Amino acid sequence: MDRHPPPHSRRFSLYQPPSYFSLSLLSIFIFSCFLSTSDAAFDVTPISFDEGYRPLFGDGNVVRSPAGDGVRILLDRFTGSGFISSDMYQHGFFSAKIKLPSDYTAGVVVAFYTSNGDVFEKTHDELDIEFLGNIRGKPWRFQTNVYGNGSTSRGREERYTLWFDPTKEYHRYSILWTANKIIFYVDEVPIREIVKSEAMGGDFPSKPMSLYATIWDASDWATSGGRYKVNYKYAPFVAEFKDLVLEGCMAVPIRQLPASGCHAKDAQLEARDFATITSSQRRAMRRFRERYMYYSYCYDTLRYPVPPPECMIIPSEKARFKDTGRLKFGGSHKRRSRRRERIPAASVSDNQASM
């Protein structure tokens, strides 16, 4: 089986949010209505799969759409799969409309992320959006993370639930990375912003990165801290991607410097609609974080007695969290450290395969 060298990160068994049925339907309805009026869709130009990407591993499980404008990646009992951008980028806007696997998907991770771990193994940069599998009736959970210059011992996880079912239709997920800031988006809603500061130093990603999308078996940690494993009775698990967007400056990583013309590209990137958070988007971001964020490293004072320098501590937000960074209602105090394994092991145990 093709393998991709895994970067590293820390994984935690965090508070598990309540079921969809226990969430306030009125709250979800009001929030959805608010988001629908926040801002129009981004002005982006999608490209075909072959224009900007190539299979990464599990080639037989990377299936292009008939028109070439989309792709499906599959996990079965033999292998996961993934694709990678054909070029590396020094800053950019990386985006796709994604529909997640349906039915029972515990232990199945779908990741949409940028990284340069293949080139800078000990000093890699990375920006993650990871969907953490699901059990029927539960809200989908996902996390974002940031690494700079190999700062894997200083993970910057935040975890959230979605206010919609991501298996029913496509939703756009995006990562903006500029010289000064990082913004994660769900549709046109900014859910997290990191503004570069001098105190962050090399922890702010600075080297050229590729875009990756993968699906793989993370039974040991992804869903309820590894309590629920992948059940291959429901395989293949399929994640669908379309309206793929790559905007940025192509770069040569060996130089560790922007290619000629990147200053102009950076200026163009900063001028785009997705590079500025409007007042309505900022209100939507605040509401999202108030209602759907259930872990933040910024409020995990056991892990970081002094919050990392990019953390903007909001008193009303902080009041909702324990010193473990988890919400004050429910949850476990256990946490586990795991090495990131984006690509599953070459074989599946008999016990796991029969689950």
Helix, strand or coil for residue 31? helix
pLDDT higher than 80, residue 12: no
Helix, strand or coil for residue 312? coil
In percent, how much of the chain has pLDDT > 90? 72
Q: What share of the chain is helix, strand, coil (3-state, %, to 5)?
A: 20, 30, 50
What pLDDT sits at residue 38? 53
Going 212 to 214 to 218 to 221, the CA torsion angle's sign is: positive
What pLDDT sits at residue 31? 54
Length of the chain: 355
What pLDDT sits at residue 111? 98
Average pLDDT of the residues of the chain: 85
Mean local confidence (pLDDT), 57-77: 97
Mean local confidence (pLDDT), 36-56: 87
Contact 58, 2 (CB under 8 A): yes
pLDDT higher than 70, residue 267: yes
Query: What does the alpha-carbon distance between residue 257 and residue 239 come to, in Å, rounded to a whole number?
Result: 34
What amino acid occupies position 124? H
Mean local confidence (pLDDT), 186-201: 95
Helix, strand or coil for residue 265? helix
What pLDDT sits at residue 223? 92
Query: What does the alpha-carbon distance between residue 308 and residue 34 come to, in Å, rounded to a whole number?
Result: 31
Kindly list the catalytic residues. Answer: 126, 130
pLDDT higher than 90, residue 219: yes
Contact 85, 118 (CB under 8 A): no
Mean local confidence (pLDDT), 40-69: 96
Contact 60, 320 (CB under 8 A): no
What pLDDT sits at residue 350? 37
CA distances from 17 to 20, 225, 259, 324 (A): 9, 13, 45, 15
Cβ neighbours of residue 228 closer than 8 Å, sequence gap 6 or more = 106, 107, 133, 135
Band of pLDDT at residue 40, cut at 50, 70 and 90: confident
Band of pLDDT at residue 33, cut at 50, 70 and 90: low
pTM for the predicted model, two decimal places: 0.84
Least confident range from 23-32, 258-267, 297-306: namely 23-32
Query: What does the alpha-carbon distance between residue 348 and residue 217 come to, in Å, rounded to a whole number?
Result: 9
Print the SS3 string covering 95-118. EEEEECCCCCCCCEEEEEEEECCC
Helix, strand or coil for residue 263? helix
CA distances from 2 to 58, 79, 142, 238 (A): 6, 9, 26, 19
Helix, strand or coil for residue 2? coil
Band of pLDDT at residue 8, cut at 50, 70 and 90: very low
Least confident range from 239-243, 253-257, 258-262, 339-343: namely 339-343
Contact 297, 156 (CB under 8 A): yes
Instruction: List domains and CATH numbers for the chain.
Output: 20-343 (2.60.120.200)
Q: Is the peptide bond before 236 cis (omega within 30 degrees of 0)?
A: yes
| Sheet hosting strand 88-99, strand order edge to edge | 62-64, 70-75, 237-251, 88-99, 171-177, 181-186, 189-195
Q: Where are the alpha helices (DSSP H) in the chain?
A: 25-36, 49-52, 262-270, 279-292, 315-318, 350-353
The C-alpha angle 237, 239, 242, rounded to 5 degrees, equals 160
Mean local confidence (pLDDT), 219-233: 95
